[in-house]
Chains A and B, each alone.
Chain A
Amino acid sequence: MAEKVLMKGNEAIAEAAILAGCRHYFGYPITPQTEIAAYMAKRMPKIGGTFLQAESEIAAINMVYGVSATGKRVMTSSSSPGISLKGEGLSYLAGADLPALVVNVQRGGPGLGGIQPSQSDYFQATKGGAHGDFHMLVLAPASVQEMAELTVKGFALADKYRMTAMILADGTMGQMMEPVSLDFAVGEAVEKPWATNGTKLSRPHNIINSLILKPERLEELNFERYERYAKIKETEVMYEEYMMEDAEICVVAFGIAARVSKNAINEARAKGIKVGLIRPITLWPFPEKAIAAAAEKVKKFISVELSMGQMIEDVRLAVNGKAPVTLCNRTGGMIPAPEQVLAAITEAAK
């Protein structure tokens, strides 16, 4: 195994993207994700790639659209307010069925909010992210190692399904440093016969477009897209179960909230409370079957989030009324302490 390096989460995303064959990065600085851009600015010129600081987030996402149309792997990154600006481009990418990797290192909101970690863009990421009928694949890393691995995975999924994969991280994940091994399989490049990369007079023109004025055709395309989404829901769900075998209480948490929750669960177990964790790794598709299965035996659910309670709606849908679901949260850039989660678990165990 290759030697480990000490990386910030943001750097791990950038280096993993390069490993995955991404040679085009467009972005605009915003805390707490700026190290992705800074890293790309240093690395891309040395490997024949393109780093471009666009004049705005909107320009950057449209540059992503352009490069993706040529069949090349391409990415952009930002933090919450910047992702809102990219919204139009995200919808256009979906409408044109173009693959891309978009990173959101979330910070507290709404508005300009703050620069500290948050998970309050969950709705925005998992319910589409902009106008129109569409979804993005949403991956939620909980370690710097996963920041790297899910970036590679994200590129592969995006190409496979011709859609945007979003890494939904937070300020903690972006800024924290952990040892990382970058020695992992990157996978084969996908053929892209749809790309607008020159006909060489050997095929008809390819057209990339999201303007479909005939309603019958637009409806047809939307149905086709949702058939693809249904397939993704069947095959691409990822989650981790921790101490769920005999659990009577189930904590559901992703990213940094899952790390805090694990500490609290260990302490609760030491006190004899039967509690476990389901950590969604894909937020869309959401691990609803795993949670539904847990609801057959678990008495209570706790959704731990760095928001006013967004994922809890998906947890409740999956639990489908079979058990109560409560919220344990901090917001605005604050992180729940293990003691707060432990208190919620202890309360649920009463």
Chain B
Amino acid sequence: MNGKRITIFSGHYGSGKTNVALTYALSERAKEKKVAIADIDIVNPYFRTKDSEALLKERGIRLICSDYANTNVDIPALPQDIYAIVDDKSLTCILDVGGDERGALALGRISAAIREENDYDMIFVANRFRPLTSTVEGAMEVLREIEAAAGLRFTAIVNNSNLGAETAPEDILSSVEFGKALSEAAGLPLAATSVSESVYEALCGRMSGLYPIRLQKHL
């Protein structure tokens, strides 16, 4: 998360990537950049960046998402202005890519242009409390599947381990080893350990690399 022109967040579904992406977009916007966030999750119509539409509008962040999201024809369609991500070089783009390799497949549409421009980060968001990514092996399997489907390599890892509303500071501390081990196995830097704002308060000074995130409200 180094302020590249394009920052892509992906991971196993339910890893919390939408929350991390949203927080990062807000922080980039706070630097007075022209920011767009793209929801190219064509897999799960239940949780969407579009749910935060009002907040994004208020902050002046452009939302690139399917016109059909949350409507009666919520089909697996890509947004028609997806090419703005690669064509409009004045935009700082944050991409929220759908869960697993099936979700990442949609990224293939623009991955060649992203590779060519070569001004991007692709962040693997991992939660060790999720059943299929609870081990380094499991997380690596998902990571490689996404890379293969997306046609892009990850450049960093964010440890977003959490148990939802029940997350205690000790849960985060217990996930530090996992973050390190995954970083080593993937040969990628650990960009941050993201935590909800409430847990952040409790952990300040107890560990480094913390990144407080804003949680979308649903259900």
A179 and B45 within 8 A (CB): no
Q: Which of A6, A31, A32, A178 contacts B127 (CB 8 A)?
A: A6
CB-defined contacts of B46 to chain A, threshold 8 Å: 31-32, 115, 171, 175
Q: Taking each of B14, B127, B131, which has the highest tally of chain A beta carbons within 10 Å of its own beta carbon?
A: B131
Query: How would residues 17 to 58 of chain B score, 1 for a CB under 8 Å from any chain A CB and 0 otherwise?
Result: 000000000000000000000000000011100000000000
Q: What 1/0 mask marks residues of chain B from 151 to 164 whose CB sits below 8 Å from any chain A CB?
A: 00000000000111
Interface residues of A in 1-32 (CB under 8 A from B): 4-8, 11, 15, 31-32
Q: Of residues 104 to 139 in B, which have CB atoms within 8 Å of A's CB atoms?
A: 127, 129-132, 134
- Complex Cα distance, B130 from A7, in Å, reads 6
Interface readout for A159-190 with B: 1 if CB under 8 Å, 0 if not?
Answer: 00000000000011001111100000000000
Main secondary structure of the interface of A (DSSP, over half): mixed
Chain A residue with the shortest CB-CB distance to B161: A6
Task: Assess whether A42 is interfacial by the CB under 8 Å rule.
Answer: yes
Please determine whether A6 and B164 come into contact, CB atoms closer than 8 angstroms.
Answer: yes
Given known A-B contacts A31-B46, A115-B45, A6 and B162 have beta carbons under 8 A apart: yes
A178 with B14, Cβ < 8 A, contacts A5-B130, A11-B131 known: no
List residues of chain A with CB within 8 A of the CB of B132: 39, 42
Question: B46, B163, B164: which has the most chain A beta carbons within 10 Å?
Answer: B46
Docked-complex contact B163 and A175, CB < 8 angstroms: no
Judged by a CB distance under 8 angstroms, whether B219 is at the interface is yes
Which single residue of chain B is at the shortest CB-CB distance from A117? Answer: B219
B88 at the interface (CB under 8 A from A): no
State whether the Cβ of B177 lies closer than 8 Å to any Cβ in chain A.
Answer: no
Asked whether B129 lies within 8 Å of A15 as measured between CB atoms, the reply is no
A-side contacts of B14, CB under 8 Å: 6, 8, 177
CA distance A42 to B129 in the complex (A): 17
B186 CB to closest chain A CB (Å) equals 20
Contact partners of B162 in chain A: CB under 8 A: 6
Minimum CB–CB distance for A283 against chain B, Å: 22
State A15–B134 Cα separation when bound (angstroms).
14
CB < 8 Å: which of B129, B134, B219 contacts A179? B129
B164:A178 contact, CB within 8 angstroms = yes
Q: Please, how many angstroms separate the alpha-carbon atoms of A42 and B74 in the complex?
A: 26
Contact flag A7-B166 (CB < 8 Å), given A31-B46, A175-B46 = no
* Given the contacts A31-B45, A31-B46, A179-B129, A5 and B219 also touching, CB distance less than 8 Å: no
Give A3's nearest chain B residue, CB to CB: B129
Q: Check B45–A6 contact: CB distance below 8 A.
A: no
**How distant is the Cα of A4 from the Cα of B168 in the complex, in angstroms?**
12
Cα separation A176 to B14 with both chains bound (whole Å)? 10
**Partner pick for B166 among A42, A172, A175, A179, CB 8 A cutoff:** A179
Q: Tell me the complex Cα distance, A115–B166, Å.
A: 28
Q: Which residue of A4, A38, A175 is within 8 Å of B129 (Cβ)?
A: A4
| B-side contacts of A176, CB under 8 Å | 219
Complex CA gap A306/B164 in Å reads 26
Residue of A nearest to B165 (CB): A178
Tell me whether B131 and A5 are in contact (CB under 8 A).
Answer: yes
Chain B residue numbers with a CB within 8 Å of A31 are: 45-46
CA distance A171 to B45 in the complex (A): 12
Question: Chain B contacts of A42 at CB under 8 A?
Answer: 132
Q: What is the distance, in angstroms, from A111's C-beta to the closest C-beta of chain B?
A: 13
**When chains A and B are docked, how far (Å) is the Cα of A210 from the Cα of B7?**
59
The residue on B at minimum CB distance from A4 is B163
A92 vs chain B, min Cβ distance (A):
33
Contact among A15, A35, A115, A179 for B163, CB-based, below 8 A: A179
Report yes or no: A177 in contact with B131, Cβ–Cβ below 8 A.
no
Which B residues touch A172, using CB under 8 A? Answer: 219
B219 engages A6 (CB within 8 Å): no
* Contact yes or no, B45 A175, CB < 8 A: no
Q: With a CB–CB cut-off of 8 A, which chain A residues contact B129?
A: 4-6, 179
Closest Cβ neighbor of A256 among chain B residues: B219
- Apart from A5-B130, A42-B132, A177-B14, 15 more pairs, CB < 8 Å: A4-B129, A4-B163, A6-B14, A6-B127, A6-B130, A7-B131, A15-B131, A31-B45, A31-B46, A35-B13, A39-B132, A115-B45, A171-B46, A172-B219, A175-B219
Could you tell me which A residues sit within 8 Å of B by CB distance?
4-8, 11, 15, 31-32, 35, 38-39, 42, 115, 171-172, 175-179
A-B contact pairs, 7 of them (CB 8 A): A4-B166, A5-B129, A6-B163, A6-B164, A171-B46, A179-B164, A179-B166
Nearest 9 interchain pairs by C-beta: A6-B129, A179-B163, A175-B46, A179-B166, A5-B131, A6-B163, A176-B219, A5-B129, A177-B164
